Amino acid sequence: MRLLGWLGLLFGLTASLIAPATALDREAFTITRYDLEVRLEPGQQRLGARGKITLRNDSGQPQRVVALQLSSSLNWRSIRVDGKTVQFVSQPYISDIDHTGALSEAIVTLPAEIKPKDSVEVEIGYEGVIPLDGTRLTRIGVPEEIAKHSSWDQISPSFTAVRGAGYVAWYPIMTESADFSEGNSLFEVADRWKARESGSEFKARIVMTDATGEAPRFMICSPGGQRLIGAMDRAQQVSAECSWRRLDAVTPTFAMANYHDQSKPPFYLFSFPGHEAGAATYANALAPAMKFVSEWFGPPSAPVAIADFADPNSAPYESGTLLMASMAAQDSNLAGTNVVHELVHSALPSSRPWVYEGLAHFAEAMYRQQQGGRQAALDLLGRHRAAFLDSEKEVSAALRKNGEQKVVEQKLIGQPLAGTFDETYYRSKAAYVWWMLCDMVGDDALKQAIRKYRAEEDNSKDPKYVEHLIEAAAKRDLGWFFDDWVYQDRGLPDFHVQSAHPWKTENGVQIVTVTLENLGNAGAEVPFTIICEGGEITKRIEVRAKGIATTRVELPGTASEIVVNDGSVPESDLTNNVFKIPASSN
Ligand SMILES: [Zn+2]
């Protein structure tokens, strides 16, 4: 037995040594261009597509075999190169990147080897069904009732909504297997795909024809170009053009239903009958949101859409300029921030996810502040904290273990905000970064910088374009802040009061000398509040990474307590932020 075991081990070892030479590199190619014609038959839940895709070899090796993947409920019909049918083997490939938990993979042998950086155009045809399917969640133990609220993608007569890569591979993708149960594997694979496809051109014309007259009347595509919204015409046909010159972080998504249309272009609003009151909160939110966004970001002009869910428990979803959110309930706060978010996208296009989404989430918090004060805004931001706290704690721990000198070598850990395709970073962390910048430079300077922002100028020529815009408006050096929060991932700060010495001047004025220490590797300007007789005083102080900073504060009475950070700076440890000043020291 033991010998056999060893033989098996040896054999396994030999096989794995040989494997790399012949193994299929599923991520060797990037699909740089999609040009698809998609037909929907909601009655049969069917989707049929044909078109062309362009594959570019982004690996360092010549490649002849490619693995084209679709959702496992779709089947490959034809694959042609240079007008000739090519042979392919179709096989199921287990991967949680699709809602069905598997992909239909076509292993294609190309007529000729494709050299690194070279491209090949492939004509494709595929068809199948897209029913509601929560397999990737139910097989890790999520109850079906709950799974269907987040895995809501489907084609059906009453409601059709299908998200792209990461949810349903309704267009071809090329990825390594992703596993929901294995830590972050699913998100890593999906984010890697997004990053590879960010510069890709995507065009899909989606058409539905119906003779019965009972078919859905509106089709919506996450708007990127013209004809993003289609309404049923006299030929009983509805279509929408989903096109992007570059995808950036967008996931191509389409929806179709018998929607009630309350659009005021460029703001499109679609709701289900029976959700009138909820839809009205959205319609009413438009005017004040428009005013707020115009003032901060300029006039919203590009089309954006908010569409309702048939199932009120469906988890909201946003990609690019399409937001899907239930209008079954009336929540005017939520409607207000959702409309603000989409209008920011309409006013401020950007290819940088941390700018595009980060500013939209920041705007939600600013809008909440305008209506309910700073604490309401911080509560809203606080809901983002958990999203990135764990991964940032890992970064902080790794940096602590390896010492500060090795920070530069820690690049693989964490995600520099500037180039990340990880949603928790470009949405949640970015929202905080913009909020901190605003606290540091003030509303007026930040508004000025934002109004000067041009997506086309924010390219690789000046990688510090955003920093320079804000520095120019604020007349303040922010290089250290951008280094710690945007260009690198240095984890989070960790503030505490190192010491506090109360004393009195000759004239009897009470003063406290406060020294704050930052135990983390990211610096920040942090507010601290001194609680004293007769009230409290809040000041702000810049504490660099691993640094200390001291300041004197004049008080109306005896100080009793110092609280560092009102929640506006994300910190790795919030348990050491309250400092009691011993009564004897006063
Ligand atoms: Zn957004």
Reported as a single tens digit per residue, the pLDDT across 350-385 is 989 999 999 999 999 999 999 999 999 999 999 988
Is beta strand 159-162 parallel, antiparallel or unpaired with respect to 84-85?
unpaired
Q: What is the pLDDT of residues 75-119, one digit of tens each?
A: 999 999 999 999 999 999 999 999 999 999 999 999 999 999 999
442 CA to middle of ligand 1, Å? Answer: 24
Q: Which of 138-142, 231-235, 494-498 has the highest mean pLDDT?
A: 494-498
pLDDT for residue 23 is more than 90? no
Confidence of residue 332 (pLDDT cuts 50, 70, 90): very high
Tokens, residue 535 = 């009230």
Give the residue, 466 or 19, on which the prediction is more confident.
Answer: 466
Give the span between the Cα atoms of 23 and 17, in whole angstroms: 11
Give the residue, 398 or 218, on which the prediction is more confident.
Answer: 218
Which residue from 51, 42, 138 is spatially nearest to 99, judged by alpha carbons?
138
Q: Hey, is 187 helix, strand or coil?
A: helix
191 CA to middle of ligand 1, Å? Answer: 16
319 CA to middle of ligand 1, Å? Answer: 6
Q: What is the pLDDT of residues 227-270, one digit of tens each?
A: 566 777 767 888 888 888 889 889 999 999 999 999 998 899 99
320 CA to middle of ligand 1, Å? Answer: 6
CA 25 to chain centroid: 27
459 CA to middle of ligand 1, Å? Answer: 20
317 CA to middle of ligand 1, Å? Answer: 9
Residues with a beta carbon under 5 angstroms from ion ligand 1? 318, 357, 360
302 CA to middle of ligand 1, Å? Answer: 14
Is beta strand 159-162 parallel, antiparallel or unpaired with respect to 495-504?
unpaired
307 CA to middle of ligand 1, Å? Answer: 14
584 CA to middle of ligand 1, Å? Answer: 53
Is the separation of the CB atoms in 128 and 74 below 8 Å?
yes
575 CA to middle of ligand 1, Å? Answer: 32
pLDDT for residue 406 is more than 60? no
Instruction: Taking residues 337-342, report their average pLDDT.
Output: 97
486 CA to middle of ligand 1, Å? Answer: 19
112 CA to middle of ligand 1, Å? Answer: 42
Phi, psi of 578 (to 5 degrees): -110, 130
360 CA to middle of ligand 1, Å? Answer: 6
Confidence of residue 11 (pLDDT cuts 50, 70, 90): very low
Phi, psi of 148 (to 5 degrees): -70, -15
Average pLDDT over the chain, rounded to an integer: 89
Tokens, residue 461 = 């020529």
Phi, psi of 585 (to 5 degrees): -80, -10
The reported pLDDT for the residue numbered 534 is 85
345 CA to middle of ligand 1, Å? Answer: 7
305 CA to middle of ligand 1, Å? Answer: 11
pTM: 0.89
310 CA to middle of ligand 1, Å? Answer: 22
344 CA to middle of ligand 1, Å? Answer: 8
Give the residue, 384 or 530, on which the prediction is more confident.
Answer: 530
Confidence of residue 5 (pLDDT cuts 50, 70, 90): very low
Q: What percent of the chain has pLDDT over 90?
A: 74
Confidence of residue 7 (pLDDT cuts 50, 70, 90): very low
489 CA to middle of ligand 1, Å? Answer: 22
Is the separation of the CB atoms in 345 and 319 below 8 Å?
no
504 CA to middle of ligand 1, Å? Answer: 52
293 CA to middle of ligand 1, Å? Answer: 14
Q: Hey, is 449 helix, strand or coil?
A: helix
318 CA to middle of ligand 1, Å? Answer: 6
Q: What is the pLDDT of residues 536-547, one digit of tens each?
A: 999 999 999 999
pLDDT for residue 14 is more than 50? no
Q: What is the pLDDT of residues 428-458, one digit of tens each?
A: 999 999 999 999 999 999 999 999 999 988 8
321 CA to middle of ligand 1, Å? Answer: 7
What does the buried/exposed string (b/e) look like for 299-337 if buried means 16 or more CB atoms within 10 Å of the residue's CB?
Answer: ebeebbbbbbbbeeebeebbbbbbbbbbbbeeeeebbbb
Give the residue, 30 or 1, on which the prediction is more confident.
Answer: 30
359 CA to middle of ligand 1, Å? Answer: 9
Instruction: Taking residues 121-131, report their average pLDDT.
Output: 98
346 CA to middle of ligand 1, Å? Answer: 10
381 CA to middle of ligand 1, Å? Answer: 15
Instruction: Taking residues 454-475, report their average pLDDT.
Output: 91
540 CA to middle of ligand 1, Å? Answer: 30
Is the separation of the CB atoms in 293 and 336 below 8 Å?
no
189 CA to middle of ligand 1, Å? Answer: 21
338 CA to middle of ligand 1, Å? Answer: 9
The reported pLDDT for the residue numbered 231 is 72
Residues forming beta bridges with residue 31, ordered by sequence position: 55
Q: Scanning the structure block, which residue is given the tokens 């520099």?
A: 416
The reported pLDDT for the residue numbered 188 is 87
538 CA to middle of ligand 1, Å? Answer: 33
